[in-house]
Amino acid sequence: MLVVKKLFFLILLIGLFFFGEIAITFSDKGYPSLLQDEEVPFSLLLDNRLSDHKETAVIDDMVSNFIRRWRIEGASVAITRDEKLVYAKGFGKANNETGEEVKPGHLFRIASVSKLITAVAVMKLHEDGKLDLDEQVFGADGILGDSIFRQYKDRRIEEITVRHLLNHTAGWSRYSGDPVFNSLYIARKMDIAPPADFENILRYTLSRRLNYTPGTRYSYSNFGYAILGEIIARKSGMPYQDYVVMNLMKPLDIHDMHVGKSYYHQKYPNEVRYHSSAGKMLAYSIDGSGELVPIYYGGNNIELLGPAGGWVASAPELIKFLTAIDGFSGQPDILSGESITMMADPDFAGRGLFGWRGTDSYGTWWRTGYLTGSSALLVRQKNGINWLVMFNTSTYKHSNIHRYVSGMMFSAVNRVESWPEIDLFTMELDSPNPISEIPATNPKL
C-alpha cells in the first residue's frame, strides 16, 4: 500500500507539471488559463497503469484488437460501476506524428454527445424557473424575438417551441442540408465574409420555408441544438459555454471540458490529433480562402457546432458528467429525478428524446457522436454500469462504427466476472493492485 501511495504522489507531481505546461501554452495561444479555475482536472492525474487489473484484462484485449482491426490510431475508454470509476485507460496513439500515447487525460471531440450537455443545460434552466419547455422561440413574443429574426415568410416558424428543438421536431429536415455545415454556402448567398456566423445562418434559414409543420414529424437537426445554445445564453444572461461550465461542470468538479476549435494549430495541448483510416478526406476551408484542408481541421466550423457537436472532453470527466444524469444514487445528480427520467422517456420527450440518441426497454440509454476524424459512444445501463468509448480516427464505416463498438463493449463488459474495488474519481485504492509492482521512483525526475 505504501508503494501505491508513492506512485500516486509521483503521478500527482507529473500531473501538476503537465498542468502547468498546459496553462502556459494556453496563455500563449490566447486561451483562458485553466489556472483561473484553481483546480487541477482529476483526469490529468490518472495514468493507464491505475487500470491495470487482471479482472479487466479482457477489456484491454478486446479494445486493443478492435482498434487494430479498424486501423484506429487512438482510443480512450472509461467505465463506472455503481457510480465509481473502475476503469479509465487510453489505447494507441494520441498523435501518430509525435508517437504520443493516449492517456486518460487526453481530450477528444465528442461530436453530438454535446447535445446531451446542451439538453441538460436547458433542463437546468427549466428547473430553475427560467425557461418553459413549451415557450415560443420566434415571433414578436418569442425568446429570439429580435426584429432581425422576424424576416420570414413561413408563419409556421412562430409555432416552434423549445421542446421542438430538443426532440428534433422543429420543422427542418436533415435531407435539405444542415445549416451549421453550410457556412461557406450561406456566406456566399448572403454576400458576407465567410464563415457565416450563427446570427447570419439563423437569419438565412428563417428566410426559407420549413420542411414540415413543427411537432408533426421527427428529423434530426444539428441546427436546432445550435439555436438552443443561443436560447441558453438569452435565458441565463451569460454566454452558452460560460453557463454550462459555471452551472453544470464546476458543481460536478469537472474542469477540463470545453467547446473545441476548428484548426489543428488551435487545439488544446492535451487534445488528440484526428485522423481518417478511410483515405484522405478534404474540404474547402471554412475561412473562405479556397484552400483544400483535411475536413477535420478547418472543413467543419467546430465553434459554430458548439451546442450541437463542438465539445471536447476526456473520458473520465465525460463519464463523471454521465453519473450526474443517470438517475442512480451513488453520486449526486445535477437534475431532479423527474427531469432525468423525462429526458429519456419517449412518452414525454417524444421520439427524438431530450439529448439522448436512444433508449430501450431494458433501461439502456445511449448517446452517439460522430465527426469525420472522431467518434464517441456513451452508454448508461440499468444494472449500474456506464461506459464510454472515444476514437480519434474515423473509418470507412463512418457513423455506423457505433454498431461495432457497441457489440464489442457489451461483450467485453459482460465478460468481467468481478470488478476492481477502486474509485478513480476519488483516487481511493481500497485493495491490492498490480501497479504496486511498478517502481515508485523515476530517475528522470
pLDDT tens profile 97-122? 999 999 999 999 999 999 999 999 99
- From the number of C-beta atoms within 10 Å of its C-beta (0-12, 13-18, 19+), residue 418 rates as exposed
Q: Which alpha helices (H) appear in 173-328, and where do they start and end? A: 183-190, 198-206, 222-236, 240-244, 302-305, 315-323
pLDDT at 38 over 70: no
Let me know if residue 38 belongs to a domain: no
Q: Are residues 328 and 424 in the same domain?
A: yes
Q: Are residues 112 and 124 in the same domain?
A: no
pLDDT at 25 over 70: no
Tell which of 213, 240, 267 closes a domain.
Answer: 240
Confidence of residue 389 (pLDDT cuts 50, 70, 90): very high
Q: Are residues 141 and 224 in the same domain?
A: yes
- Residues 8 and 429: their CA atoms lie apart, in Å, by 10
pLDDT tens profile 82-92? 999 999 999 99
226 C-beta neighbours (distance < 10 Å), count: 26
pLDDT at 331: 85
pLDDT at 206: 96
Pair 171, 214: CB distance under 8 Å = yes
pLDDT at 1 over 50: no
Containing H/E element for 88? strand 84-95
**Could you tell me which residue, 210 or 445, shows the higher pLDDT?**
210
Q: Work out the mean pLDDT of the chain and round it to a whole number.
A: 89
Q: Are residues 50 and 107 in the same domain?
A: yes
Let me know if residue 309 belongs to a domain: yes
Let me know if residue 20 belongs to a domain: no
Confidence of residue 37 (pLDDT cuts 50, 70, 90): low
pLDDT tens profile 40-62? 899 999 999 999 999 999 999 99
Confidence of residue 442 (pLDDT cuts 50, 70, 90): very low
pLDDT at 39: 80
pLDDT at 405: 98
**Could you tell me which residue, 12 or 369, shows the higher pLDDT?**
369
Compute the radius of gyration of the chain from its Cα atoms: 22
**Could you tell me which residue, 77 or 281, shows the higher pLDDT?**
77
Q: Are residues 155 and 82 in the same domain?
A: no
Q: Are residues 286 and 427 in the same domain?
A: yes
Confidence of residue 36 (pLDDT cuts 50, 70, 90): low
Tell which of 207, 240, 273 closes a domain.
Answer: 240
Averaged pLDDT for residues 231-253: 97
pLDDT at 151 over 70: yes
- Residues 307 and 349: their CA atoms lie apart, in Å, by 19
**Which range marks the domain in which residue 72 is found?**
46-116+257-437
- Domain count of the fold of the chain: 2
Let me know if residue 51 belongs to a domain: yes
pLDDT at 343 over 70: yes
336-345 long-range CB contacts below 8 Å, 24 or more apart? Answer: 336/127, 339/123, 339/126, 339/127, 342/123, 343/119, 343/120, 343/123
Averaged pLDDT for residues 18-37: 37
Averaged pLDDT for residues 58-79: 98
Averaged pLDDT for residues 276-299: 95
Q: Are residues 301 and 412 in the same domain?
A: yes
Let me know if residue 14 belongs to a domain: no
Read off the DSSP letter of residue 245.
I
pLDDT at 209 over 90: yes
Let me know if residue 53 belongs to a domain: yes
Q: pTM to 2 decimals?
A: 0.89
**Could you tell me which residue, 13 or 369, shows the higher pLDDT?**
369
pLDDT at 21 over 60: no
Q: Are residues 292 and 427 in the same domain?
A: yes
C-alpha cell at 185: 454556402
Q: Name 300's Cβ contacts closer than 8 Å, sequence gap at least 6.
A: 181, 262, 283, 286, 371, 372
Residue 333 sits at the vertex; the CA angle it makes with 331 and 337, to the nearest 5 degrees, is 125
CA distances, 186 to each of 150, 155, 353, 424 (Å):
18, 22, 29, 46
pLDDT at 422 over 90: yes
pLDDT tens profile 185-199? 999 999 999 999 999
C-alpha cell at 311: 465539445
Q: Are residues 168 and 317 in the same domain?
A: no
Among candidates 269, 267, 260, 262, which has minimal Cα distance to 241?
A: 260
Q: Strand pairing partners for 428?
A: 423
Among candidates 102, 61, 49, which has minimal Cα distance to 412?
A: 61
Let me know if residue 444 belongs to a domain: no
Give me the percent of the chain exceeding a pLDDT of 70: 87
Let me know if residue 214 belongs to a domain: yes
Confidence of residue 6 (pLDDT cuts 50, 70, 90): very low
CATH number at residue 329: 3.40.710.10
Q: Are residues 70 and 150 in the same domain?
A: no
Q: Are residues 93 and 154 in the same domain?
A: no
Averaged pLDDT for residues 127-155: 96
Tell which of 240, 270, 294 closes a domain.
Answer: 240
Q: Are residues 279 and 327 in the same domain?
A: yes
Among candidates 84, 126, 171, 196, which has minimal Cα distance to 339?
A: 126
